Chain A
Amino acid sequence: MAEQVNALPYKANLDIYSETLQRLAETDSNIIAVTSDSRGSGKLVPFGKKFPAQIIEVGIAEQNLVGVAAGLASCGKKVFATSPACFLTARALEQIKNDVAYSNNPVNVVGISAGVSYGALGTTHHSLHDYAALRAINNIIIVAPADNYETEQAIEVAAKTNAPVYLRFGKKPMPPLKETTGEVFQFGKGRVITEGTDVAIVACGETVYPALEAAHLLKEKNITATVISMHTIRPLDTDLLAHVAQQCKAVVTVEEHSVYGGLGEACAAYLLQQGICKPFKIIGIPDEYTVTGSQADIFNHYGINKEGIAAQAMKLLQ
Protein backbone atom coordinates (compact mmCIF):
# COMPACT_ATOMS: atom_id res chain seq x y z
CA MET A 1 0.00 0.00 0.00
CA ALA A 2 1.25 3.43 -0.87
CA GLU A 3 2.20 5.34 2.20
CA GLN A 4 0.18 8.45 2.90
CA VAL A 5 2.51 11.38 2.46
CA ASN A 6 1.98 13.64 5.40
CA ALA A 7 3.03 16.78 3.58
CA LEU A 8 1.90 20.01 5.09
CA PRO A 9 -0.43 21.73 2.68
CA TYR A 10 1.07 25.15 3.25
CA LYS A 11 4.36 26.72 2.37
CA ALA A 12 6.63 28.64 4.67
CA ASN A 13 7.05 32.35 3.98
CA LEU A 14 10.69 31.50 3.46
CA ASP A 15 9.76 29.30 0.48
CA ILE A 16 7.76 32.16 -0.99
CA TYR A 17 10.75 34.44 -0.53
CA SER A 18 12.90 32.08 -2.55
CA GLU A 19 10.31 31.60 -5.30
CA THR A 20 9.51 35.29 -5.59
CA LEU A 21 13.12 36.39 -5.74
CA GLN A 22 13.79 33.88 -8.50
CA ARG A 23 10.79 35.12 -10.45
CA LEU A 24 11.93 38.73 -10.12
CA ALA A 25 15.49 37.87 -11.13
CA GLU A 26 14.29 36.25 -14.33
CA THR A 27 13.48 39.66 -15.80
CA ASP A 28 15.76 41.87 -13.74
CA SER A 29 19.49 41.32 -13.68
CA ASN A 30 19.82 44.02 -11.03
CA ILE A 31 18.28 41.74 -8.41
CA ILE A 32 21.19 40.60 -6.23
CA ALA A 33 21.14 38.27 -3.25
CA VAL A 34 23.97 38.65 -0.77
CA THR A 35 24.57 35.76 1.61
CA SER A 36 26.86 34.86 4.50
CA ASP A 37 26.95 31.04 4.29
CA SER A 38 23.19 31.51 4.59
CA ARG A 39 21.90 30.53 1.17
CA GLY A 40 20.77 27.15 2.49
CA SER A 41 18.92 28.62 5.46
CA GLY A 42 17.51 31.28 3.13
CA LYS A 43 16.37 28.66 0.59
CA LEU A 44 18.45 30.48 -2.00
CA VAL A 45 20.36 27.47 -3.32
CA PRO A 46 18.14 27.25 -6.45
CA PHE A 47 18.49 31.02 -6.91
CA GLY A 48 22.27 30.68 -6.76
CA LYS A 49 22.27 27.86 -9.31
CA LYS A 50 20.03 29.73 -11.71
CA PHE A 51 21.61 33.14 -11.33
CA PRO A 52 25.22 32.55 -10.29
CA ALA A 53 26.17 36.11 -11.27
CA GLN A 54 23.40 37.52 -9.08
CA ILE A 55 24.48 36.03 -5.79
CA ILE A 56 27.35 37.41 -3.77
CA GLU A 57 28.75 35.21 -1.02
CA VAL A 58 30.81 36.85 1.71
CA GLY A 59 31.28 33.89 4.05
CA ILE A 60 30.33 33.97 7.71
CA ALA A 61 30.73 37.72 8.14
CA GLU A 62 27.43 39.51 8.67
CA GLN A 63 28.89 42.98 9.14
CA ASN A 64 30.66 42.63 5.84
CA LEU A 65 27.42 41.29 4.33
CA VAL A 66 25.50 44.46 5.14
CA GLY A 67 28.35 46.78 4.18
CA VAL A 68 28.79 45.04 0.84
CA ALA A 69 25.02 45.19 0.30
CA ALA A 70 25.07 48.94 0.93
CA GLY A 71 27.79 49.42 -1.67
CA LEU A 72 25.90 47.36 -4.23
CA ALA A 73 22.69 49.28 -3.53
CA SER A 74 24.51 52.59 -3.97
CA CYS A 75 25.14 51.57 -7.59
CA GLY A 76 21.50 50.81 -8.32
CA LYS A 77 21.45 47.11 -7.49
CA LYS A 78 18.27 45.79 -5.89
CA VAL A 79 19.90 44.02 -3.04
CA PHE A 80 18.43 41.37 -0.77
CA ALA A 81 20.94 40.87 2.05
CA THR A 82 19.84 37.56 3.48
CA SER A 83 20.90 36.04 6.77
CA PRO A 84 19.28 34.87 10.02
CA ALA A 85 17.51 37.84 11.63
CA CYS A 86 19.41 37.30 14.88
CA PHE A 87 22.83 37.94 13.32
CA LEU A 88 21.76 40.64 10.88
CA THR A 89 20.08 42.87 13.41
CA ALA A 90 22.54 42.35 16.24
CA ARG A 91 25.95 41.72 14.74
CA ALA A 92 25.44 44.06 11.80
CA LEU A 93 23.26 46.64 13.53
CA GLU A 94 25.78 49.41 13.09
CA GLN A 95 26.06 48.66 9.38
CA ILE A 96 22.27 48.78 9.12
CA LYS A 97 22.18 52.06 11.05
CA ASN A 98 25.01 53.87 9.25
CA ASP A 99 25.56 52.23 5.89
CA VAL A 100 21.95 51.41 5.04
CA ALA A 101 19.57 53.70 6.95
CA TYR A 102 21.64 56.83 7.60
CA SER A 103 23.42 56.79 4.23
CA ASN A 104 20.08 55.94 2.64
CA ASN A 105 21.29 52.99 0.59
CA PRO A 106 18.13 51.13 -0.37
CA VAL A 107 19.12 47.66 0.81
CA ASN A 108 16.48 45.06 1.57
CA VAL A 109 17.74 43.55 4.78
CA VAL A 110 16.09 40.13 4.94
CA GLY A 111 16.02 38.57 8.40
CA ILE A 112 15.18 34.89 8.05
CA SER A 113 14.21 32.36 10.74
CA ALA A 114 13.23 35.32 12.88
CA GLY A 115 11.82 35.53 16.38
CA VAL A 116 12.13 32.13 18.03
CA SER A 117 11.96 30.12 14.79
CA TYR A 118 15.25 28.47 15.74
CA GLY A 119 13.66 27.19 18.98
CA ALA A 120 16.07 24.97 20.88
CA LEU A 121 19.15 26.55 19.32
CA GLY A 122 18.61 29.15 22.02
CA THR A 123 18.96 32.86 22.61
CA THR A 124 22.00 33.35 20.35
CA HIS A 125 19.71 32.36 17.48
CA HIS A 126 16.58 34.24 18.55
CA SER A 127 15.73 37.75 17.40
CA LEU A 128 13.44 39.30 19.98
CA HIS A 129 15.03 42.73 19.81
CA ASP A 130 14.96 43.57 16.11
CA TYR A 131 11.79 45.67 15.96
CA ALA A 132 12.94 47.62 19.00
CA ALA A 133 16.43 48.19 17.66
CA LEU A 134 15.30 49.16 14.18
CA ARG A 135 12.37 51.31 15.35
CA ALA A 136 14.91 53.49 17.11
CA ILE A 137 16.86 53.92 13.88
CA ASN A 138 15.54 56.49 11.44
CA ASN A 139 14.87 55.62 7.81
CA ILE A 140 14.20 51.91 7.57
CA ILE A 141 10.79 50.38 6.84
CA ILE A 142 10.07 47.36 9.06
CA VAL A 143 7.90 44.61 7.58
CA ALA A 144 6.89 41.24 9.04
CA PRO A 145 4.56 39.47 6.59
CA ALA A 146 2.11 37.00 8.08
CA ASP A 147 1.19 34.61 5.30
CA ASN A 148 2.39 33.62 1.84
CA TYR A 149 0.36 36.35 0.13
CA GLU A 150 1.85 39.09 2.28
CA THR A 151 5.32 37.67 1.81
CA GLU A 152 5.12 37.58 -1.96
CA GLN A 153 3.68 41.09 -2.07
CA ALA A 154 6.22 42.44 0.41
CA ILE A 155 9.12 41.17 -1.67
CA GLU A 156 7.71 42.60 -4.87
CA VAL A 157 7.07 45.95 -3.22
CA ALA A 158 10.50 45.91 -1.58
CA ALA A 159 12.18 45.34 -4.93
CA LYS A 160 10.47 48.50 -6.23
CA THR A 161 10.98 50.60 -3.13
CA ASN A 162 13.91 52.95 -3.32
CA ALA A 163 14.41 53.02 0.45
CA PRO A 164 15.91 50.79 3.14
CA VAL A 165 13.59 47.94 4.11
CA TYR A 166 13.82 45.27 6.79
CA LEU A 167 11.86 42.13 5.93
CA ARG A 168 11.42 39.60 8.68
CA PHE A 169 9.89 36.16 8.56
CA GLY A 170 10.01 32.63 9.91
CA LYS A 171 10.18 29.17 8.44
CA LYS A 172 6.96 27.60 9.60
CA PRO A 173 4.33 26.70 6.95
CA MET A 174 1.70 29.44 7.08
CA PRO A 175 -1.94 29.06 6.04
CA PRO A 176 -3.58 31.95 4.15
CA LEU A 177 -5.37 34.43 6.39
CA LYS A 178 -8.13 35.22 3.92
CA GLU A 179 -9.18 35.52 0.27
CA THR A 180 -7.07 38.18 -1.45
CA THR A 181 -8.78 38.79 -4.79
CA GLY A 182 -8.69 42.46 -5.67
CA GLU A 183 -6.60 43.40 -2.68
CA VAL A 184 -3.82 45.94 -3.00
CA PHE A 185 -0.86 45.41 -0.69
CA GLN A 186 1.05 48.45 0.50
CA PHE A 187 3.75 48.99 3.09
CA GLY A 188 2.26 51.00 5.94
CA LYS A 189 -1.30 49.79 5.36
CA GLY A 190 -2.48 47.10 7.76
CA ARG A 191 -4.88 44.39 6.62
CA VAL A 192 -8.22 43.77 8.25
CA ILE A 193 -8.53 40.00 8.44
CA THR A 194 -11.83 39.78 10.25
CA GLU A 195 -14.12 42.34 11.84
CA GLY A 196 -15.85 42.58 15.20
CA THR A 197 -16.67 45.15 17.86
CA ASP A 198 -15.57 43.74 21.20
CA VAL A 199 -11.82 43.42 20.94
CA ALA A 200 -9.21 44.51 18.41
CA ILE A 201 -6.34 42.07 18.05
CA VAL A 202 -3.39 43.67 16.29
CA ALA A 203 -0.66 41.19 15.35
CA CYS A 204 2.20 40.75 12.91
CA GLY A 205 4.23 37.97 11.34
CA GLU A 206 3.55 34.38 12.32
CA THR A 207 1.38 35.45 15.27
CA VAL A 208 -1.46 36.75 13.08
CA TYR A 209 -2.70 33.24 12.42
CA PRO A 210 -3.13 32.31 16.11
CA ALA A 211 -4.77 35.72 16.59
CA LEU A 212 -7.30 34.78 13.93
CA GLU A 213 -7.84 31.40 15.60
CA ALA A 214 -8.39 33.23 18.89
CA ALA A 215 -11.09 35.30 17.19
CA HIS A 216 -12.86 32.07 16.21
CA LEU A 217 -12.63 30.82 19.80
CA LEU A 218 -14.01 34.09 21.13
CA LYS A 219 -16.93 33.93 18.74
CA GLU A 220 -18.07 30.74 20.47
CA LYS A 221 -18.37 32.91 23.58
CA ASN A 222 -20.29 35.60 21.68
CA ILE A 223 -17.31 37.93 21.68
CA THR A 224 -16.50 39.43 18.31
CA ALA A 225 -12.98 40.46 17.38
CA THR A 226 -11.34 42.57 14.73
CA VAL A 227 -8.05 41.02 13.69
CA ILE A 228 -5.44 43.19 11.99
CA SER A 229 -2.32 41.95 10.28
CA MET A 230 -0.07 44.92 10.96
CA HIS A 231 2.64 43.67 8.62
CA THR A 232 4.38 47.05 8.59
CA ILE A 233 5.61 47.92 12.06
CA ARG A 234 7.11 51.14 10.80
CA PRO A 235 5.54 53.29 9.36
CA LEU A 236 2.66 52.13 11.52
CA ASP A 237 -0.83 52.35 10.05
CA THR A 238 -2.03 54.73 12.74
CA ASP A 239 -5.30 55.54 10.95
CA LEU A 240 -6.35 51.92 10.98
CA LEU A 241 -5.10 51.47 14.54
CA ALA A 242 -7.06 54.48 15.83
CA HIS A 243 -10.14 53.34 13.95
CA VAL A 244 -10.21 49.80 15.33
CA ALA A 245 -9.29 50.90 18.83
CA GLN A 246 -12.22 53.33 18.85
CA GLN A 247 -14.55 50.72 17.42
CA CYS A 248 -13.71 48.10 20.04
CA LYS A 249 -13.78 47.94 23.83
CA ALA A 250 -10.25 46.60 24.24
CA VAL A 251 -7.01 46.15 22.32
CA VAL A 252 -4.65 43.17 22.38
CA THR A 253 -1.38 43.12 20.44
CA VAL A 254 0.57 39.98 19.58
CA GLU A 255 4.13 39.62 18.30
CA GLU A 256 7.04 37.17 18.21
CA HIS A 257 9.29 39.72 19.86
CA SER A 258 10.12 41.08 23.28
CA VAL A 259 7.16 42.87 24.84
CA TYR A 260 9.53 45.82 24.99
CA GLY A 261 9.93 48.12 22.02
CA GLY A 262 7.98 46.22 19.40
CA LEU A 263 4.55 46.38 17.78
CA GLY A 264 2.67 46.47 21.09
CA GLU A 265 4.56 49.43 22.50
CA ALA A 266 4.34 51.23 19.16
CA CYS A 267 0.53 50.86 19.25
CA ALA A 268 0.31 51.78 22.93
CA ALA A 269 2.38 54.92 22.49
CA TYR A 270 0.29 56.10 19.57
CA LEU A 271 -3.09 55.43 21.16
CA LEU A 272 -2.16 56.99 24.49
CA GLN A 273 -0.83 60.12 22.85
CA GLN A 274 -4.06 60.41 20.86
CA GLY A 275 -6.06 60.08 24.06
CA ILE A 276 -7.58 56.79 22.91
CA CYS A 277 -7.44 54.86 26.15
CA LYS A 278 -8.77 51.33 26.04
CA PRO A 279 -7.94 48.30 28.15
CA PHE A 280 -4.71 47.15 26.50
CA LYS A 281 -2.47 44.07 26.62
CA ILE A 282 0.81 43.33 24.87
CA ILE A 283 1.38 39.64 24.21
CA GLY A 284 4.96 38.69 23.33
CA ILE A 285 8.08 37.30 24.95
CA PRO A 286 8.52 38.70 28.47
CA ASP A 287 11.72 40.13 29.86
CA GLU A 288 13.30 36.95 31.22
CA TYR A 289 15.72 34.19 30.23
CA THR A 290 13.61 32.76 27.38
CA VAL A 291 12.25 29.31 28.12
CA THR A 292 14.00 26.60 26.09
CA GLY A 293 12.31 24.41 23.52
CA SER A 294 10.87 24.51 20.02
CA GLN A 295 9.10 27.56 18.62
CA ALA A 296 5.77 25.87 19.46
CA ASP A 297 6.95 25.13 23.02
CA ILE A 298 7.96 28.75 23.47
CA PHE A 299 4.70 30.09 22.01
CA ASN A 300 2.63 27.81 24.23
CA HIS A 301 4.68 28.66 27.29
CA TYR A 302 4.03 32.38 26.86
CA GLY A 303 0.43 32.10 25.70
CA ILE A 304 1.15 33.07 22.11
CA ASN A 305 -1.56 30.70 20.92
CA LYS A 306 -5.29 30.85 20.35
CA GLU A 307 -6.18 29.97 23.93
CA GLY A 308 -3.73 32.43 25.41
CA ILE A 309 -4.77 35.29 23.15
CA ALA A 310 -8.47 34.61 23.70
CA ALA A 311 -7.95 34.45 27.46
CA GLN A 312 -6.18 37.82 27.51
CA ALA A 313 -8.97 39.36 25.43
CA MET A 314 -11.64 38.05 27.81
CA LYS A 315 -9.71 39.32 30.80
CA LEU A 316 -9.65 42.83 29.33
CA LEU A 317 -13.36 42.69 28.57
CA GLN A 318 -14.39 41.61 32.08
Chain B
Amino acid sequence: MTTKELKQKSIEYRKKILQYIVKAKAGHTGGSLSCTDILNVLYNEIMNVSPQNFTSPDRDRYIQSKGHTVEALFVVLADKGFFPEEDLNTLCQYKSHYIGHPTRKVNGVEQNTGALGHGLPIAVGTAIAAKLDNKDFRVFTLLGDGEMPEGSNWEAALSAAHYKLDNLCAIVDKNNLQITATTADVCNTDPLDEKWKSFGWAVKEVDGNDVEALKNVLSNLPFEAGKPSFLIAHTTKGKGVSYMENTLKWHHGVPSNEEYKQAIRELEESLLTI
Protein backbone atom coordinates (compact mmCIF):
# COMPACT_ATOMS: atom_id res chain seq x y z
CA MET B 1 0.00 0.00 0.00
CA THR B 2 1.11 3.54 -0.56
CA THR B 3 1.57 5.78 2.44
CA LYS B 4 -1.56 7.63 1.43
CA GLU B 5 -3.57 4.42 1.28
CA LEU B 6 -2.25 3.35 4.65
CA LYS B 7 -3.24 6.69 6.13
CA GLN B 8 -6.71 6.35 4.66
CA LYS B 9 -7.01 2.87 6.12
CA SER B 10 -6.11 4.13 9.57
CA ILE B 11 -8.87 6.70 9.41
CA GLU B 12 -11.39 4.13 8.19
CA TYR B 13 -10.37 1.84 11.02
CA ARG B 14 -10.76 4.61 13.57
CA LYS B 15 -14.26 5.39 12.31
CA LYS B 16 -15.26 1.74 12.59
CA ILE B 17 -13.72 1.35 16.03
CA LEU B 18 -15.90 4.20 17.24
CA GLN B 19 -18.95 2.91 15.39
CA TYR B 20 -18.82 -0.49 17.08
CA ILE B 21 -17.94 0.89 20.50
CA VAL B 22 -20.96 3.18 20.29
CA LYS B 23 -23.14 0.26 19.14
CA ALA B 24 -21.94 -1.97 21.97
CA LYS B 25 -22.05 0.90 24.50
CA ALA B 26 -18.72 -0.42 25.75
CA GLY B 27 -15.11 -0.54 24.75
CA HIS B 28 -11.61 0.74 25.26
CA THR B 29 -11.69 3.77 23.05
CA GLY B 30 -8.49 5.70 23.75
CA GLY B 31 -6.11 2.75 23.60
CA SER B 32 -7.79 1.35 20.48
CA LEU B 33 -7.22 4.64 18.70
CA SER B 34 -3.61 4.90 19.87
CA CYS B 35 -2.67 1.49 18.44
CA THR B 36 -4.66 1.66 15.21
CA ASP B 37 -1.69 2.65 13.04
CA ILE B 38 0.46 -0.10 14.53
CA LEU B 39 -2.14 -2.76 13.73
CA ASN B 40 -2.70 -1.27 10.30
CA VAL B 41 0.97 -1.51 9.38
CA LEU B 42 1.44 -4.95 10.94
CA TYR B 43 -1.52 -6.55 9.16
CA ASN B 44 -1.28 -4.70 5.85
CA GLU B 45 2.47 -4.42 5.39
CA ILE B 46 4.54 -6.55 7.69
CA MET B 47 2.99 -9.81 8.80
CA ASN B 48 2.50 -12.89 6.72
CA VAL B 49 -0.92 -13.78 8.04
CA SER B 50 -4.28 -13.92 6.32
CA PRO B 51 -7.51 -15.92 6.48
CA GLN B 52 -5.97 -18.19 3.82
CA ASN B 53 -2.88 -19.13 5.81
CA PHE B 54 -4.24 -18.81 9.33
CA THR B 55 -4.14 -22.55 9.90
CA SER B 56 -0.63 -22.85 8.47
CA PRO B 57 2.10 -23.47 11.05
CA ASP B 58 4.29 -21.06 9.07
CA ARG B 59 2.15 -17.95 9.51
CA ASP B 60 3.44 -14.99 11.46
CA ARG B 61 1.85 -14.71 14.89
CA TYR B 62 0.33 -11.62 16.48
CA ILE B 63 -0.52 -11.76 20.18
CA GLN B 64 -2.23 -8.72 21.60
CA SER B 65 -1.11 -8.43 25.18
CA LYS B 66 -3.08 -5.23 25.77
CA GLY B 67 -6.21 -7.23 25.11
CA HIS B 68 -8.60 -4.53 26.27
CA THR B 69 -8.19 -2.60 23.02
CA VAL B 70 -9.77 -5.50 21.18
CA GLU B 71 -11.96 -3.20 19.10
CA ALA B 72 -8.94 -2.13 17.06
CA LEU B 73 -7.99 -5.77 16.48
CA PHE B 74 -11.52 -6.85 15.55
CA VAL B 75 -11.90 -4.02 13.04
CA VAL B 76 -8.59 -4.87 11.36
CA LEU B 77 -9.34 -8.62 11.32
CA ALA B 78 -12.72 -7.93 9.72
CA ASP B 79 -11.05 -5.77 7.08
CA LYS B 80 -8.59 -8.57 6.34
CA GLY B 81 -11.53 -10.91 5.76
CA PHE B 82 -11.24 -13.12 8.83
CA PHE B 83 -14.98 -12.70 9.43
CA PRO B 84 -17.83 -10.58 8.05
CA GLU B 85 -17.71 -7.07 9.46
CA GLU B 86 -21.44 -7.21 10.29
CA ASP B 87 -20.56 -9.72 13.01
CA LEU B 88 -19.24 -6.80 15.02
CA ASN B 89 -22.79 -5.55 15.48
CA THR B 90 -23.09 -8.26 18.14
CA LEU B 91 -20.08 -6.95 20.09
CA CYS B 92 -20.58 -7.61 23.82
CA GLN B 93 -24.06 -9.07 23.34
CA TYR B 94 -25.45 -12.23 24.91
CA LYS B 95 -23.90 -15.32 23.30
CA SER B 96 -21.70 -13.30 20.92
CA HIS B 97 -18.10 -14.44 20.53
CA TYR B 98 -17.14 -10.81 19.99
CA ILE B 99 -16.54 -9.84 23.60
CA GLY B 100 -14.50 -7.12 25.26
CA HIS B 101 -11.20 -8.99 24.88
CA PRO B 102 -9.59 -11.17 22.21
CA THR B 103 -10.75 -14.79 22.21
CA ARG B 104 -9.86 -17.63 19.91
CA LYS B 105 -13.56 -18.16 19.21
CA VAL B 106 -13.02 -15.27 16.80
CA ASN B 107 -11.24 -16.24 13.60
CA GLY B 108 -7.82 -14.60 13.37
CA VAL B 109 -7.21 -14.29 17.10
CA GLU B 110 -4.13 -16.21 18.23
CA GLN B 111 -4.54 -16.15 22.00
CA ASN B 112 -7.13 -15.27 24.63
CA THR B 113 -5.82 -12.19 26.35
CA GLY B 114 -7.23 -9.48 28.61
CA ALA B 115 -5.36 -10.02 31.83
CA LEU B 116 -2.31 -7.83 31.26
CA GLY B 117 1.19 -9.25 31.34
CA HIS B 118 0.45 -12.47 29.48
CA GLY B 119 1.22 -11.67 25.86
CA LEU B 120 4.99 -11.48 26.03
CA PRO B 121 5.59 -14.83 27.79
CA ILE B 122 3.30 -16.59 25.28
CA ALA B 123 5.10 -14.81 22.45
CA VAL B 124 8.45 -15.98 23.84
CA GLY B 125 7.23 -19.58 23.92
CA THR B 126 5.92 -19.28 20.38
CA ALA B 127 9.23 -17.84 19.18
CA ILE B 128 11.20 -20.60 20.90
CA ALA B 129 8.98 -23.16 19.15
CA ALA B 130 9.79 -21.54 15.80
CA LYS B 131 13.50 -21.90 16.53
CA LEU B 132 13.12 -25.51 17.64
CA ASP B 133 11.25 -26.37 14.46
CA ASN B 134 13.59 -24.35 12.21
CA LYS B 135 10.67 -22.29 11.01
CA ASP B 136 11.12 -18.73 9.95
CA PHE B 137 7.80 -17.24 11.02
CA ARG B 138 7.97 -14.24 13.29
CA VAL B 139 6.13 -13.39 16.46
CA PHE B 140 4.74 -9.97 17.31
CA THR B 141 3.17 -8.77 20.51
CA LEU B 142 1.67 -5.44 21.48
CA LEU B 143 1.96 -4.21 25.06
CA GLY B 144 0.52 -1.22 26.87
CA ASP B 145 2.85 1.15 28.66
CA GLY B 146 0.73 0.86 31.80
CA GLU B 147 1.17 -2.89 31.49
CA MET B 148 4.94 -2.66 31.86
CA PRO B 149 5.07 -3.11 35.67
CA GLU B 150 3.67 -6.66 35.47
CA GLY B 151 6.59 -8.80 36.57
CA SER B 152 5.87 -11.45 33.96
CA ASN B 153 7.01 -9.01 31.26
CA TRP B 154 10.44 -8.76 32.80
CA GLU B 155 10.67 -12.50 33.34
CA ALA B 156 9.83 -12.99 29.68
CA ALA B 157 12.30 -10.30 28.68
CA LEU B 158 15.05 -12.35 30.29
CA SER B 159 14.02 -15.56 28.53
CA ALA B 160 13.76 -13.86 25.16
CA ALA B 161 17.30 -12.52 25.36
CA HIS B 162 18.60 -15.78 26.79
CA TYR B 163 17.19 -17.71 23.83
CA LYS B 164 18.37 -15.01 21.38
CA LEU B 165 14.89 -14.69 19.94
CA ASP B 166 15.52 -12.46 16.95
CA ASN B 167 12.27 -13.78 15.51
CA LEU B 168 10.37 -11.91 18.23
CA CYS B 169 9.27 -8.28 18.18
CA ALA B 170 7.55 -6.63 21.13
CA ILE B 171 5.94 -3.27 20.52
CA VAL B 172 4.91 -1.01 23.35
CA ASP B 173 2.06 1.41 22.69
CA LYS B 174 3.59 4.28 24.62
CA ASN B 175 0.66 6.64 24.97
CA ASN B 176 1.75 7.71 28.46
CA LEU B 177 -1.67 7.10 30.03
CA GLN B 178 -3.38 4.28 31.86
CA ILE B 179 -6.60 4.27 33.93
CA THR B 180 -5.64 6.21 37.05
CA ALA B 181 -3.30 8.83 35.63
CA THR B 182 -0.19 9.16 33.49
CA THR B 183 2.14 6.17 33.57
CA ALA B 184 4.78 8.50 34.98
CA ASP B 185 2.53 9.23 37.98
CA VAL B 186 1.25 5.70 38.54
CA CYS B 187 4.50 3.78 38.33
CA ASN B 188 7.26 5.34 36.34
CA THR B 189 8.91 2.78 34.08
CA ASP B 190 11.12 5.24 32.16
CA PRO B 191 13.64 5.06 30.69
CA LEU B 192 12.24 2.05 28.87
CA ASP B 193 14.95 2.01 26.20
CA GLU B 194 17.77 1.64 28.71
CA LYS B 195 15.90 -0.99 30.69
CA TRP B 196 15.20 -3.19 27.68
CA LYS B 197 18.70 -2.71 26.29
CA SER B 198 20.15 -3.80 29.59
CA PHE B 199 17.88 -6.85 29.43
CA GLY B 200 19.58 -7.81 26.17
CA TRP B 201 17.10 -6.54 23.61
CA ALA B 202 17.72 -4.40 20.53
CA VAL B 203 15.62 -1.28 21.01
CA LYS B 204 14.27 1.29 18.55
CA GLU B 205 11.83 4.15 18.92
CA VAL B 206 9.26 5.38 16.43
CA ASP B 207 6.32 7.72 16.06
CA GLY B 208 3.65 5.07 16.55
CA ASN B 209 1.00 7.11 14.79
CA ASP B 210 3.09 7.59 11.66
CA VAL B 211 2.35 4.70 9.30
CA GLU B 212 5.32 5.42 7.06
CA ALA B 213 7.78 5.48 9.94
CA LEU B 214 6.23 2.31 11.37
CA LYS B 215 6.52 0.58 8.01
CA ASN B 216 10.16 1.56 7.70
CA VAL B 217 11.20 0.45 11.13
CA LEU B 218 9.22 -2.80 11.08
CA SER B 219 10.58 -3.68 7.64
CA ASN B 220 14.01 -3.97 9.18
CA LEU B 221 13.55 -6.77 11.67
CA PRO B 222 15.38 -8.00 13.58
CA PHE B 223 16.91 -4.76 14.73
CA GLU B 224 20.02 -6.75 15.55
CA ALA B 225 20.89 -10.36 14.72
CA GLY B 226 20.64 -12.68 17.71
CA LYS B 227 18.54 -10.30 19.81
CA PRO B 228 14.81 -9.86 20.34
CA SER B 229 13.50 -6.52 19.05
CA PHE B 230 11.75 -3.98 21.25
CA LEU B 231 9.95 -1.12 19.56
CA ILE B 232 8.90 1.87 21.62
CA ALA B 233 6.00 3.34 19.66
CA HIS B 234 5.28 6.86 20.84
CA THR B 235 1.55 7.35 20.38
CA THR B 236 -1.32 9.57 21.42
CA LYS B 237 -4.13 7.99 23.38
CA GLY B 238 -7.41 8.82 21.62
CA LYS B 239 -5.50 9.68 18.41
CA GLY B 240 -7.54 11.40 15.72
CA VAL B 241 -10.37 12.77 17.84
CA SER B 242 -9.49 16.14 19.34
CA TYR B 243 -11.42 15.87 22.58
CA MET B 244 -10.24 12.33 23.23
CA GLU B 245 -6.55 12.89 22.68
CA ASN B 246 -4.45 12.61 25.85
CA THR B 247 -7.57 12.59 28.00
CA LEU B 248 -7.85 10.09 30.82
CA LYS B 249 -11.58 9.52 30.72
CA TRP B 250 -11.45 8.12 27.20
CA HIS B 251 -9.60 5.04 28.41
CA HIS B 252 -12.96 3.30 28.38
CA GLY B 253 -15.25 6.23 27.72
CA VAL B 254 -18.08 5.62 25.26
CA PRO B 255 -19.03 8.62 23.12
CA SER B 256 -22.56 10.00 23.27
CA ASN B 257 -24.37 10.41 19.96
CA GLU B 258 -23.27 14.01 19.70
CA GLU B 259 -19.68 13.18 20.59
CA TYR B 260 -19.74 10.35 18.10
CA LYS B 261 -20.92 12.64 15.33
CA GLN B 262 -18.21 15.14 16.08
CA ALA B 263 -15.58 12.40 16.13
CA ILE B 264 -16.68 11.09 12.74
CA ARG B 265 -16.73 14.63 11.36
CA GLU B 266 -13.17 15.23 12.55
CA LEU B 267 -11.94 11.95 11.11
CA GLU B 268 -13.58 12.64 7.78
CA GLU B 269 -12.05 16.08 7.68
CA SER B 270 -8.61 14.63 8.33
CA LEU B 271 -9.19 12.28 5.39
CA LEU B 272 -9.30 15.34 3.12
CA THR B 273 -5.92 16.62 4.21
CA ILE B 274 -3.95 13.43 3.61
Which residues of A does B touch, CB under 8 Å? 35, 37-41, 57-64, 86-87, 90-91, 118-125, 291-294, 297, 301
Contact = CB atoms under 8 A, between A and B. Distances in A.
A61 B151 contact: yes
Contacts of B117: 60, 91
Chain B contact surface mostly: loop
Question: Which has the most chain A C-beta neighbours within 10 Å: B112, B117, B148?
Answer: B117
B128 to A, nearest CB: 23
A293 B112 CA distance: 17
Contact of B97 (A40, A86, A292): A292
A58 B94 CA distance: 35
Given A122-B103, A294-B94, A59 B146 contact: yes
Given A37-B186, A60-B148, A293-B92, 12 more contacts: A40-B179, A58-B149, A60-B116, A91-B115, A121-B99, A121-B100, A122-B101, A124-B115, A125-B114, A291-B94, A292-B93, A292-B97
A62 to B, nearest CB: 8
Contacts of A60: 116-117, 146-150, 178, 187
Contact of B101 (A59, A61, A125, A293): A125
A122 B186 CA distance: 26
Given A87-B115, A120-B99, A122-B99, A61 B94 contact: no
20 contacts: A38-B179, A57-B180, A57-B186, A59-B189, A60-B148, A60-B150, A60-B178, A61-B150, A87-B115, A90-B115, A120-B93, A121-B101, A122-B99, A122-B101, A122-B112, A123-B112, A124-B101, A291-B94, A292-B99, A294-B94
Contacts of B114: 121-122, 124-125
Contacts of B186: 37, 57, 59
A293 B26 CA distance: 12
Count class of interface residues, chain B:
20 to 34
Cβ-closest 4 pairs across A and B: A59-B187, A124-B114, A293-B94, A59-B149
Given A58-B187, A60-B147, A122 B100 contact: yes
A62 B147 CA distance: 11
Contacts of A121: 99-101, 114
Contact of B92 (A39, A64, A86, A120): A120
Contacts of B26: 120
Nearest to A289: B105
A297 B147 CA distance: 30
B96 to A, nearest CB: 6
A312 to B, nearest CB: 22
Contacts of B151: 61, 63-64
Contacts of B96: 292-293
Contact of A293 (B95, B149, B179, B187): B95
A133 to B, nearest CB: 15
A36 to B, nearest CB: 8
B36 interface: no
A57 B180 CA distance: 10
A57 to B, nearest CB: 6
Interface in B89-122: 92-97, 99-101, 103, 112-117
Interface in B101-160: 101, 103, 112-117, 146-151
Nearest to B180: A37
A90 B24 CA distance: 28
Nearest to A296: B94
Contacts of B179: 37-38, 40-41
